[in-house]
Structure 1
């Protein structure tokens, strides 16, 4: 695999306490597999490698106004948000996990849909930086990761999903999503991405 750091963004999808942590509103769905697969640890190392290589680091986070006036409930996932009153912008559990918190120079994009490009500035931000390749990690593989990756592919980006840096509610859901995404982009590992970013530093 070849990557040019200057035109590559590594995107961490919805690595928020309400989604990934056991005490989060979606923790009952996603925390066990995220912990078992060490998604936070692997993603953290991946983001560090991206920064070291000079690639762009992006976080997408999903959050709504505290009165939920911007929440459109048209799916079961968003129905859980309405019922549990989670992911309110400014609340501690809506923030990026402190273990992999953004640093100076990183980009944080807040959105209100399952896919990170919908009703957000993500596409504008990436294109303004000359990004043509997007590398995805995060939770859940078969929801926000897949949704955002599908949008990226439709928008013309080279789309790469890091399989060992993602998780879903159960292994079968993760595997099925990865198999589906293989038709729309490239499936790889965190080790391969780290190696490719390092090899491409000279072209950054």
Structure 2
């Protein structure tokens, strides 16, 4: 489903939430490299996300980060999914390890909140919702990996919490292009899908005092 409804972006009420930009997940030497590294590289999503983050910072908007992190032995990990078994079997995402660190290209700023969580959404048992509400945020954009797992899981929770949600199509990646595109198509029923360039243009128009609206691309049907 494609929407042509305009999206208004006020940087004082908009946040970008960056999900799982961690070594173990997105780099060629990470524990999950066989799943995600090639797609991340081929689609250039790190550079797209970096440009978007820099634009949000310049606009004075909230930039937030979510990471998966576990204690040694994984006491908080519930082994009820194949993904969770894979995390434990690979010894991935141990808190304090290099693999759990956010990649240097996307280093959070000193004043940017970082929440850690064990599941497929960054909202349960974290301060993310409180952080957004304290800043009176009503619109949240999402970048990250994987589009069809924690990005989607967190975005769906954001919808259920009452936020207006936008998935940034070219600032996310999944193990396969088919999985990525399927999530974008499904999520258009719940929120919006737009490109990083469109988001940047909307923020710039707002900064210039113009009507900060954008329309999701028909190509994302």
Task: Report the equivalent of 1:112.
Answer: 118
Contact in 2 for aligned 1:113/1:119 (Cα 8 Å)? no
Between 1:64-73 and 1:107-116, the stretch displaced more is: 64-73
Q: Does 1:6 align with 2:6?
A: no
User: What is the match of residue 81 of structure 1?
Assistant: 87
Q: How far 1:27 sits from its partner (Å)?
A: 1.1
Are 1:103 and 2:109 counterparts?
yes
Q: Which has the larger radius of gyration?
A: 2
* Partner SS for 2:64: strand
**CA RMSD in angstroms, aligned pairs only:** 1.2
Contact 1:2 1:200 in 2 (8 A): no
**TM alignment of 1:112-131, pairs within 5 A:** 112-131=118-137
Post-superposition CA distance 1:157-179 (Å, at most 9, x none) = 00000001111011111110110
Give unmatched runs, 5+ long, in structure 2. 1-6, 211-221
TM-score calculated relative to the size of structure 1: 0.96
Residue 50 of structure 1 is matched in structure 2 by 56
Structure 2 match to 1:194: 200
- How many angstroms does 1:200 deviate by? 2.3
**Deviations along 1:109-159, whole A, 9 cap, x unmatched?**
111111111221111111111111100011111111111111101111000
What SS does structure 1 have at the residue aligned with 2:9?
A: coil
| Secondary structure of the structure 2 residue equivalent to 1:106 | coil
Q: Where do 5+ consecutive residues of structure 1 fail to align?
A: none
Q: Distance in 1 between matches of 2:172 and 2:93?
A: 20
Q: C-alpha deviations, 1:24-54, integer Å up to 9, x for none?
A: 1111101100100011110000000000001
Measure the CA separation in 2 of the matches of 1:76 and 1:86: 14
Q: 2:149 aligns with which of 106, 124, 143?
A: 143
Deviation of the 1:199 alpha carbon: 2.1
* Structure 1 residue 40 corresponds to structure 2 residue 76: no
Secondary structure at 2:159's aligned position in 1? helix
* CA distance in 2: counterparts of 1:77 and 1:142, whole angstroms: 12
Q: Which runs of 4+ in 1 moved over 4 A?
A: none
SS at match of 1:200: helix
Find the aligned partners of 2:68 and 2:98 in 1 and give their Cα distance.
Answer: 13
Supply the distance in 2 between the matched residues of 1:67 and 1:76 (Cα, whole angstroms). Answer: 17
Displacement after TM superposition at 1:197 (Å): 1.5
